[in-house]
């Protein structure tokens, strides 16, 4: 005959039931007219010596009431779960081992950004972040790109319809507004990087309407272009390969003077050209005196350099990925390779 522990077990199973079907099956097991454990136990009462019958019957009836009550409550709970029961039933134990061999891991992009923070952290750079919805003022004007400057067309902008007190709003087209934000809130000397998302109306194998950059800025008393090159070369080698192939070219950005671009040898589409080709990965240069002035820094006393890296492009080179759009498609066959 069923004993205390089996009733207790039913009680636990009812509490753990995850669906109405599961609950109905348990109910059947206990109470079905022909073979229910409780039904049989009650029938068996006849066979018990009369002296014991009373206590046993009392006990059984208590369990019967209790289990009926538990079933009823659990039924209601499953039909309209309370916050408490949801927490209990739907909680995901993220520390549980997965059944197969597969383990999750960071996506390529945040993984790379962590590496960036580590590499620049070792060179004494602080880490900052800023808004993706920016003002025209920070994204352009204070960076020496006035309204009718042709350089604005270099970065086709997503404008936002509403404004705030500071003027027109946009999705930042570059992380460079972080140079201004950081210089306005910190006194030189300073060293900082600012990774984050940026947005441009652009889409093909090497452009995406949303992509990641990290900005860098170093301001001091006698910082030169040679210091900038040293930092660029160290970063490129540490973030891709020790023997990475790259070249410096002059480039134009209104907020630096002189400006440079760094290309890296890209073997992403070897099928197309055996030699591979060059892909621009960094824009950099000495911070323009106008920008320093806009941030309340005296360009006669201080100078320095700024740079902006394209995160996806660096990763494409590092892992020989031919199409930048693979980063955002969530295709596990792609993601599992890394």
Q: Which residues sit at the interface with ligand PHE, rule CB under 6 A?
A: 174, 176, 253, 256, 259, 283-285, 306-308
Nearest distance from C-beta of residue 279 to ligand PHE, angstroms: 13
Six-digit token string for 219: 């301001």
* Residue 134 DSSP SS3: strand
For β-strands 167-171 and 159-164, DSSP reports them as antiparallel
Q: How far apart are CB 153 and ligand PHE at their closest, in Å?
A: 13
Pairing of the two strands 126-127 and 190-199: parallel
CB of 155 to ligand PHE, least distance (A): 7
Residue number with CB closer to ligand PHE (207 or 265) = 207
Q: Which of 278, 268, 214, 284 is nearest to 247 (CA)?
A: 278
Q: How far, in Å, CA of 227 to CA of 285, rounded?
A: 11
Nearest to ligand PHE of 54, 247 (CB atom) = 247
**Could you tell me the smallest distance in angstroms from the CB atom of residue 192 to ligand PHE?**
12
Return d(Cα 251, Cα 19) in angstroms, integer. 64
- Token pair listed for 295: 């941030």
- With beta carbons less than 8 A apart as the criterion, state whether 127 and 235 touch: no
Cβ closest to ligand PHE, residue 168 vs residue 313: 313
> Minimum Å distance from CB 287 to ligand PHE?
8
Q: Which is nearer to ligand PHE, 26 or 311 (CB)?
A: 311
Beta strands in the chain (DSSP E): 126-127, 133-135, 159-164, 167-171, 190-199, 210-220, 246-250, 256-266, 277-287, 303-310
Beta-bridge partners for 204: 207
Residue corresponding to tokens 């039909």: 79
Q: How far is the CB of 333 from ligand PHE (least distance, A)?
A: 31
261 closest CA partner among 245, 246, 276: 246
Q: Minimal CA–CA distance to 179: which of 189, 194, 200, 167?
A: 194
Q: Which is nearer to ligand PHE, 26 or 306 (CB)?
A: 306
| Nearer of residues 17 and 284 to ligand PHE, judged by Cβ | 284
Q: How many CB atoms are closer than 10 A to CB 75?
A: 15
**Toward ligand PHE, which CB reaches closer, 196 or 308?**
308
Q: Which helix (H) or strand (E) holds 111?
A: helix 108-122
How far apart, in whole angstroms, are the C-alpha atoms of residue 289 and residue 159?
A: 28
Cβ 312 to ligand PHE shortest distance, Å:
13
Comparing CB distances to ligand PHE, the nearer of 268 and 310 is: 310
188 or 285, CB closer to ligand PHE? 285
In the complex, the smallest distance separating the C-beta of residue 97 from ligand PHE, rounded to whole angstroms, is 43
328 in helix, strand or coil?
helix
Minimum separation from the CB atom of position 229 to ligand PHE (A)? 14
Residues 6 or more apart whose Cβ sits within 8 Å of residue 139: 157, 170, 172, 173, 174, 176, 177
């Amino acid at each position: 005959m069923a004993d205390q522990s089996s009733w207790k077990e039913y009680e636990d199973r009812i509490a753990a039931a995850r669906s109405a079907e599961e609950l109905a099956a348990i109910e059947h097991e206990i109470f079905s007219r022909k073979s229910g454990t409780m039904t049989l136990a009650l029938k068996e009462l006849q066979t018990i010596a009369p002296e014991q019958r009373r206590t046993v019957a009392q006990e059984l009836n208590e369990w019967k009431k209790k289990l009926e009550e538990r079933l009823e409550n659990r039924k209601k709970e499953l039909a309209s779960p309370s916050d408490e029961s949801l927490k209990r039933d739907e909680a995901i134990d993220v520390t549980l081992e997965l059944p197969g061999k597969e383990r999750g891991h960071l996506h390529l992009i945040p993984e790379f950004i962590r590496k960036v923070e580590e590499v620049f952290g070792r060179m004494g750079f602080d880490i900052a972040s800023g808004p993706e919805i920016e003002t025209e003022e920070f994204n352009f004007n204070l960076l020496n790109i006035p309204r009718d400057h042709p350089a604005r067309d270099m970065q086709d902008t997503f404008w936002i319809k509403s404004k705030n007190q500071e003027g027109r709003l946009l999705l930042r087209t570059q992380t460079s507004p972080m140079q201004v934000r950081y210089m306005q809130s910190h006194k030189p000397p300073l060293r900082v990087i600012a990774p984050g998302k940026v947005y441009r109306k652009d889409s093909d194998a090497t452009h995406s309407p949303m992509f990641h950059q990290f900005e860098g800025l170093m301001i001091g008393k006698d910082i030169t272009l040679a210091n900038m090159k040293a930092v660029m070369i160290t970063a490129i080698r540490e973030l891709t390969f020790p023997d990475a192939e790259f070249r410096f070219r002059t480039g134009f950005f209104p907020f630096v003077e002189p400006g440079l671009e760094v290309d890296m040898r890209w073997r992403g589409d070897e099928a197309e050209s055996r030699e591979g080709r060059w892909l621009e990965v960094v824009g950099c240069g000495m911070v323009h005196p106008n920008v320093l002035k806009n941030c309340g820094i005296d360009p006669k006393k201080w100078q320095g350099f700024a740079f902006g890296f394209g995160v996806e492009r660096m990763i494409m080179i590092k892992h020989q990925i031919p199409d930048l759009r693979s980063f955002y498609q969530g295709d596990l066959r792609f993601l599992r390779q890394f």
